[in-house]
Amino acid sequence: MKELSSLQIERLKYQPKLPASLAGGINNLTMTEGNKTESVKDAEQIKELFKNTYGKPIVTFNTSTNTEASGKRNIGVILSGGQAPGGHNVIAGLYDALKQANPENKLYGFLGGPSGIIDGNYIEFTDEKINSYRNTGGFDIIGSGRTKLETEEQFQKSLKVCKDLGISGVVIIGGDDSNTNAAMLAEWFVKNNADIQVIGCPKTIDGDLKNDQIEISFGFDTATKTYAELVGNILRDANSAKKYWHFIKLMGRSATHVGLEVALQTQPNITLISEEVEAKKLSLNSIVNYMADIVAKRAEMGKNFGIALIPEGLIEFIPEIKAMISNLNDTLAELENDASYKNADENTKFDIIKNKLNSEDSKVFTSLPVMIKQQLLMDRDPHGNVQVSKIETEKLLIEMVNTKLNEMKKEGKYNGKFSTQCHFFGYEGRCAFPSNFDADYCYSLGYNAFALIKFGLTGYLSSVKNLSLPASQWVAGGVPLTMMMNMEKRHGAFKPVIKKALVELDGPVFKKLEQNREIWAYQDKYLFPGSIQYFGPSSVCDLTTETLKLENASKLAAV
């Protein structure tokens, strides 16, 4: 028996809340179909690639007075991609619904992510196993992985494993790429008459897997509250010591939802938004000038301290650097098997890259500090892209802001002190104990995933909406995965992927930051949210994110 902390012992007792439509029982449901759907972009190409699963309707569930017996079935579940708080509760909700439907049903967990279903590595879940992981963070119940499901060989192996175990449904818990895997597997199973359903669940702390049907991905609530606590602690320290500028890089490679949410919860002096940088075509120098001006004006007020939030993926949104990285990704893909490049020393690699890039991109690459060039040439991620989390953007900005301030000092425009500390908050939020919101939401997503299977659906993403209301008023259903897809360039070729949702600059969340940015820069309206609360009044324990409150309030106002 593993040792448990006092908090985990108490959290194991927490009973997650379900939407009223599901709370009546898995065998007491009716399903309503909406209109047929289309992909968000590139409809003809997506339709051609997903001939058997494209165009399905959105569905919703309601409680029925009729009870329908459920036949015996076995289900497999996969945790895929990076960890996000609440993953264990998705599995718990799936398990409880499955056993409620028929006690003879079995749930198999594939070990180590998608590779588990390919290689046949699995466990069968028991009450004891599930009960020891309820309401806990992490993915350690079965582990995770980033293997992509995309080849004929992988599909054939997955089919054999499922047939050997008598599995008729697979639930893939993951982000946009993982659910692209789910869509691919669902299409292949239908095409080959495998009679195996595939359902996805929306996971990513980045918050970029969302649309009108998926209001938020699970883990975002807990992760942003965790980061907000850390940022709040640093704000308090800065306001106490009054001698450091803290440059804090926050998780969020392709979108700045995390940084924006944390900013609204803590109100720092500077918040950079990648999507704004791209839309306004802000150069690296213009960003540095903006930050240096705030540092200088605060110094005039006797405030040689402050907090700057920097999104993890910022460097890819700066136009001249984004263009260079795109060219660099293609160039490195070409050099992947080039022995002369792979065996070259660092300076020779820099020269090879410089000569292969087009002239403008070559100038940008050459202008960067050696530290950043080294990081740009590190091993690519599984999609062939720069691993931006390893690029120390916060240090780059500190160095460039310091250089600018020294120039301003020579010109008599600055006479302050610029002492700095840098931080990167990423892993700190991925496996935190899920908030009550994420515990409830994830349990509902898992329970709802089995409802989708029970009604014979495949190629769907589990959807629970109305999330800014009490859990009893949430709306459960499903959205076709193909509805969320478009074509994007990966490893030099265009492939179907679920479209990432970026920060909307005309949306209510960014507008709130924009309206307060000048005030927060100079008046120190710091907020200190403190740690996540699990016990106490609902007004404290069941808080949703500022993002969700603002977006849902905007939707209601538009009705």
Interatomic CA distance for residues 234 and 257, integer angstroms: 20
Say how many C-beta atoms besides its own lie within 10 A of residue 127's C-beta: 10
pLDDT of residue 383: 63
Tell me which residue of 521, 513, 518 sits closest to 550, measured CA to CA.
513
Domains by residue range for the chain, with CATH: 6-219+434-490 (3.40.50.450), 225-430+507-553 (3.40.50.460)
pLDDT score, position 490:
78
- The full DSSP string for 21-44 is HHHT-TTSEEEEEEEE---SS-HH
Q: Which two tokens stand for residue 257?
A: 């939802």
What's the whole-number average pLDDT of the chain? 94
Q: Which residues are catalytic?
A: 206
- At 1 the pLDDT is 54
In tens digits, the chain (559 residues) has pLDDT values of 578 899 999 999 999 999 999 999 999 999 999 999 999 999 999 999 999 999 999 999 999 888 877 889 999 999 999 999 999 999 999 999 999 999 999 999 999 999 999 999 999 999 999 999 999 999 999 999 999 998 999 999 999 999 999 999 999 999 999 999 999 999 999 999 999 999 999 999 999 999 888 999 999 999 999 999 999 999 999 999 999 999 999 998 889 999 999 999 999 999 999 999 999 999 999 999 999 999 999 999 999 999 999 999 999 899 998 899 889 988 988 888 888 998 999 999 999 999 999 999 999 999 888 888 888 888 777 666 777 778 899 999 999 999 999 999 999 999 999 999 999 999 999 999 999 999 999 999 999 999 999 999 999 999 999 999 999 999 999 999 999 999 998 777 889 999 999 999 999 999 999 999 999 999 999 999 999 999 999 989 998 999 999 999 887 776 5
Quick one: pLDDT at residue 304?
98
DSSP classification of residue 472: G
| Beta bridge partner(s), residue 57 | 36
Q: What percent of the chain has pLDDT over 70?
A: 99
**Which residues, 6+ apart, have CB-to-CB distance to 28 below 8 Å?**
63, 64, 65, 66, 67, 68
How far apart are alpha carbons 109 and 121 in whole angstroms? Answer: 9
Q: What pLDDT does 382 receive?
A: 67
User: Measuring CA to CA, which residue among 213, 221, 151, 287 is closest to residue 501?
Assistant: 213
Give the model's pLDDT for residue 9: 92
How much is the pLDDT for 360?
92
